[in-house]
Homo-oligomer: A and B are copies of this chain.
Amino acid sequence: MAHADAVESMLRSLLDDRPRDGEVARPSGLMQAIRHGALSGGKRLRPFLLLESAALFGATGPAPLRVAAALECVHCYSLIHDDLPAMDDDDLRRGQPTVHRAFDEATAILAGDSLLTYAFDIIASDETELPAERRIELVTRLARAAGLGGMAGGQFLDLTAERQTPGEEGILRLQAMKTGALIRFACEAGAIVGQASPADRERLAEFGSAVGLAFQLADDLLDLTSDAATLGKAAGKDAAAGKATLAGLHGIDWTRRQLSGLMDQASDLLRPFGAAGTMLRTAARFVVERNH
């Protein structure tokens, strides 16, 4: 995918060892760990959604790619911290050792902290060539999607869910926070970067919510039906951890029907954009049909 290559290359240039104005130095050991966590491939789904959503509104200039790279920094920070022994305790990520395995725990914590912080730097930078008002809007939306009422809060709920099984409503809220918020942000941010109308921006955010929920259902399904070799990480972990998922609760057939319904919903939301929405529709389908 051309988008994934462009994002990789933008991240590579942002995450080099050269200190920028206002930075004292970039410790090379820390930068190595950061690059290990951020440049190790990955599907770059969130950047893809952001870039295609921005393209829908004719966004040009450096902003889409830079904001997409910032978003990927936040996603990678969350993976690094979620993989830690105190959290999900994963040794493998995308078939590679996780950051705390390749380096050590302290370095992994700091690499995650640094990527999260850097994301706001990238968005706020003049180099996006966006008006300050747009950048401020992106900072606010990203902070709310990633923070205590979004992704971080969702990860907290997910960890406690292993002890106190939540009901269906609880699972939906948990997932809207843990994985949904950042995917919703990806689509909404593309609309912000593309200076979309408030109505279109809300439409893209809703599209993002549908894709986010589908992403989580597809993930649960993979955990139920796949194996570690295909997945590039341990499989069957949800059930082993006694973690309640909608797929586990309602079974494989129900989940496949839900996914199909969400695809229809996502498609309907894109209808006003006609053929221009094709790539986003394809991305939504990719989310559902992926096998790793």
- List chain A positions with a Cβ less than 8 A from chain B: 19-27, 29-31, 34, 77, 81, 84, 86-87, 104-107, 109-110, 112-114, 116-118, 120-121, 123-125, 131-133, 135-136, 139-150, 152-157, 159-160, 173, 176-177, 180-181
A143→B118 contact, CB < 8 A: yes
Residues of B near A19 (CB, < 8 A) are 149
Known: A86-B105, A153-B24, A153-B27. A147 touches B114 (CB 8 A): yes
Known: A109-B109, A110-B155, A118-B148. A140 touches B22 (CB 8 A): yes
B109→A148 contact, CB < 8 A: no
Residues of B near A87 (CB, < 8 A) are 106, 109
Known: A84-B109, A86-B105, A153-B26. A120 touches B148 (CB 8 A): no
B105→A148 contact, CB < 8 A: no
Q: 6 closest pairs, A vs B, by CB?
A: A23-B149, A86-B105, A121-B143, A117-B147, A22-B144, A132-B132
Residues of B near A136 (CB, < 8 A) are 124, 132, 135-136, 139
A160→B86 contact, CB < 8 A: no
Residues of B near A144 (CB, < 8 A) are 20-23, 121
Of the residues B120, B133, B160, contact of A29 by C-beta under 8 Å? B160
A19 to B25, CA, bound (A): 37
Question: Could you show 22 A-B contacts with beta carbons less than 8 Å apart?
Answer: A19-B149, A22-B149, A23-B150, A23-B153, A24-B150, A24-B173, A27-B160, A29-B160, A30-B153, A30-B156, A31-B148, A81-B109, A106-B156, A107-B156, A107-B159, A113-B113, A114-B148, A116-B116, A118-B148, A121-B147, A124-B139, A136-B136
A152→B106 contact, CB < 8 A: no
Residues of B near A112 (CB, < 8 A) are 113
A29→B140 contact, CB < 8 A: no
Query: Told that A24-B150, A25-B149 touch, could you supply 12 new A-B pairs with CB distance under 8 A?
Result: A22-B149, A24-B154, A24-B180, A25-B153, A27-B157, A86-B105, A86-B106, A87-B106, A107-B156, A113-B113, A117-B146, A121-B140
Residues of B near A110 (CB, < 8 A) are 81, 152-153, 155-156, 159
CB distance from A147 to the nearest CB of B (A): 4
CB distance from A198 to the nearest CB of B (A): 14
Residues of B near A120 (CB, < 8 A) are 120, 139, 142-143
